[in-house]
Structure 1
Amino acid sequence: MTDSVETVLFDIDDTLCEYRRSGDELLALAFEGHGVEPFFTIEDYYARYAEFAETTDSIDDLRTECFAAIADGQGRDPNLGRALANAYTAERDHRNVRALPGAREAVAALSDDHRVGVVTNGPPEMQSQKLAALGLDDAFETVIHAGYDAPAKPDPAPFYRALDVLGGRPESAVHIGNSLSSDVAGAQAAGLKSVWLDDGSTPDPVPDHTLKTMEELATPPWRS
Structure 2
Amino acid sequence: MTTSVDTVLFDIDDTLCEYRRSGDELLTLAFDAHDVEPFFTIEDYYARYGEFAETTDSIDELRTECFAGIADDNDRDPSLGRALADVYTEERDHRNVRALPGAREAVAALADDHRVGVVTNGPPAMQSKKLAALGLDDAFETVVHAGYDAPAKPDPAPFHRALSALDGDPESSVHIGNSLSSDVAGAQAAGLQSVWLDDGSEPDPVPDHTLASMEELANPPWNA
Q: Does the TM-score normalized on the shorter chain lie above 0.5?
A: yes
**Could you tell me how far apart the structure 1 residues matched to 2:151 and 2:33 are?**
35
**Could you tell me how far apart the structure 2 residues matched to 1:195 and 1:54 are?**
26
Report 1:179-198 matches (<5 A). Answer: 179-198=179-198
**Could you tell me how far apart the structure 2 residues matched to 1:209 and 1:75 are?**
43
Contact (CA 8 Å) 1:3, 1:223: kept in 2 or not?
no
Residue aligning to 2:126: 126
**Could you tell me how far apart the structure 2 residues matched to 1:143 and 1:59 are?**
17
Residue aligning to 1:84: 84
Matched, 1:207 2:207: yes
Offset of residue 105 of structure 1: 0.1
**Could you tell me how far apart the structure 1 residues matched to 2:46 and 2:60 are?**
14
Contact (CA 8 Å) 1:124, 1:145: kept in 2 or not?
yes
Deviations 1:12-52 (A, max 9, x none): 00000001110000000000001111111111111111111
Deviates more, 1:170-179 or 1:199-208: 199-208
**Could you tell me how far apart the structure 2 residues matched to 1:83 and 1:73 are?**
16
Deviations 1:65-100 (A, max 9, x none): 111111111111111110100000011000010000
% identical equivalent positions:
85
Contact (CA 8 Å) 1:3, 1:222: kept in 2 or not?
no
Q: Give ranges in structure 2 of 5+ residues lacking alignment.
A: none
**Could you tell me how far apart the structure 2 residues matched to 1:202 and 1:27 are?**
26
**Could you tell me how far apart the structure 1 residues matched to 2:122 and 2:69 are?**
20
Residue aligning to 1:17: 17
TM-score (normalised: structure 2): 0.98
Say which SS state the counterpart of residue 205 (structure 1) adopts.
Answer: coil
Q: CA RMSD in A?
A: 1.0
Residue aligning to 1:113: 113
Residue aligning to 1:62: 62
Offset of residue 212 of structure 1: 0.3
Contact (CA 8 Å) 1:116, 1:142: kept in 2 or not?
yes
Offset of residue 3 of structure 1: 7.6
Q: Give ranges in structure 1 of 5+ residues lacking alignment.
A: none
**Could you tell me how far apart the structure 2 residues matched to 1:182 and 1:33 are?**
32
Report 1:165-184 matches (<5 A). Answer: 165-184=165-184
Contact (CA 8 Å) 1:154, 1:185: kept in 2 or not?
yes
Residue identity in the other structure for 1:77 = D
Residue aligning to 2:74: 74
**Could you tell me how far apart the structure 2 residues matched to 1:3 and 1:111 are?**
19
Offset of residue 202 of structure 1: 1.1
